[in-house]
Amino acid sequence: MRVTIRDVARACAVDVSTVSRALAGVRGISDETRSRVLEAAERLSYVPNRVARGLATGRSQSLGLLISDIRNPFFADVARGAEDAAFAAGFDLILGNADLESERQMRYIRSLVEKRVDGLVMNSVTALSKTEIAELVSYRVPVVLLVRPRSASAFSTVSADNFEGGRAAGTYLLGLGHRNVAHLTGSPRHANLWARGQGFRKAVQDGGSRVRCTVLRGDHTQQGGSELARRLFKSNPEVTAIFAGNDAMAYGVLRAAAECGRRIPETLSLIGFDNVDISAIVHPPLTTIHQPRYEMGKASVEILVRKIHEANPVTEHRVFGVQLVERASCRAL
């Protein structure tokens, strides 16, 4: 049997409540008894039982992190930021990979609620139906989202300024003299990709009427990028610049370009979005839009923790600025 608070109490002839107080480090206990208790606890190698504590206090000191896939480097960075913030605040982080599948996502949510997590940071709720979202809300657990849903909601959010990023990409390309540009992106239901596209479109519109802009949609993966690029090269061979919805797609473009004999950046400029680690390693080094992933993860649990501690929590929306990282995949016309 494990040594409990009672054993410690017995060992120094005090009540368990006294031990509890000493261990909790509250004031209102004499220094002498405190150190006596602490010494005894140490000697008996007492290990507090947080689940018992959790039952008594109603707080588990753990948070849930529900993302689509930790293997996506974006989420790995976010997770690290989240984890560091949680660690600093004395919380543990329960990880869930939900693949944006609503059923899997709900199973996780229920499981986490049963474990009484004190809060939840989630990738997104876009895969959830209205009733599922209602269920989530009914659990009354503080939630921070990493994707700002277009509909208003009770959840706090942390996101990057995707719109501005898209616009920056557009003005950069136009500034380089490109007048026949393309945007390769994913499903319009993907809020982040959508905002990037909108920003890009805005830049193009502001660039005057002489610029041609073709938009192609497909899978927002390397594979998808390749396919779209090939289609683009056929339908609009005069295109001189591409804005890919994310870096993965940009790598696909890189591939397709190599196969189709289009040299980057000599005859085709390419800009991505994300600034994944390998962007600097790939050939040619990819010009892209950087979003502060680690900071976003960190901020999301900081907001969450604040929300947990506050009496009547406010829903907060924090958007992080993005930054164009100029490398070698774009060239002036």
Partner DNA sequence: CTGAAAGCGCTAACAG
Partner DNA sequence: CTGTTAGCGCTTTCAG
Q: Give how many residues touch a copy of itself by CB under 8 A.
A: 46
Contact flag: residue 120 with a copy of itself (CB under 8 A):
no
Contact flag: residue 92 with a copy of itself (CB under 8 A):
yes
13 binds, options DNA, a copy of itself, none, Cβ within 5 to 8 A by partner type: DNA
Site string for DNA, 48-87 (x = CB under 7 A): xx--xx-xxxx-----------------------------
Half-sphere exposure of residue 43: CA atoms within 13 angstroms, side-chain side: 11
Contact flag: residue 187 with a copy of itself (CB under 8 A):
no
Provide the angle, in degrees to the nearest 10, between the axes of the packed helices 31-43 and 16-24.
90
Q: Give how many residues touch DNA by CB under 7 A.
A: 31
Q: Which stretch binds DNA (CB under 7 A): 8-16, 174-182, 199-207, 250-258?
A: 8-16
Among 88, 134, 278, 333, binds a copy of itself (CB under 8 A): 278
Nearest to 64 by CA among 150, 153, 136, 128: 136
Contact flag: residue 281 with DNA (CB under 7 A):
no
d(CA 63, CA 82): 10
Among 12, 44, 89, 95, binds a copy of itself (CB under 8 A): 95
Q: Which stretch binds DNA (CB under 7 A): 29-37, 102-110, 243-251, 270-278?
A: 29-37
d(CA 15, CA 33): 11
DSSP H/E element including 274: none
Q: How far is the CB of 323 from a copy of itself (least distance, A)?
A: 19
Write out the DSSP string of 164-188: HHHHHHHHHHHHTT--EEEEEE--T
Copy the structure tokens of residue 309. Answer: 């501690």
Q: Please check whether residue 156 is in contact with residue 317, taking contact to mean a CB–CB distance below 8 angstroms.
A: yes
Q: Which stretch binds DNA (CB under 7 A): 44-52, 85-93, 243-251, 270-278?
A: 44-52
Nearer to a copy of itself, 60 or 124 (CB): 60
> 3-class SS at 43?
helix
d(CA 136, CA 13): 47
> 3-class SS at 50?
helix
Nearer to DNA, 19 or 271 (CB): 19
14 binds, options a copy of itself, DNA, none, Cβ within 5 to 8 A by partner type: DNA
Question: From start to end of the chain, where are the E strands?
Answer: 62-67, 92-97, 119-122, 143-145, 156-160, 180-185, 212-217, 241-244, 269-271, 288-290, 317-320, 323-325
Q: How far is the CB of 185 from DNA (least distance, A)?
A: 46
> 3-class SS at 288?
strand
Copy the structure tokens of residue 332. Answer: 């002036």
Spell 124-135 as b/e; 16+ CB within 10 A means b: bbbbbeeebbee
62 binds, options DNA, a copy of itself, none, Cβ within 5 to 8 A by partner type: a copy of itself
Nearer to DNA, 48 or 313 (CB): 48
73 binds, options DNA, a copy of itself, none, Cβ within 5 to 8 A by partner type: a copy of itself
Residues that bind a copy of itself (CB under 8 A): 45, 47-52, 54-55, 60, 62, 65, 69-71, 73, 76-77, 79-80, 83-84, 87, 92-97, 110-116, 138-139, 222, 251, 254-255, 278, 281-283
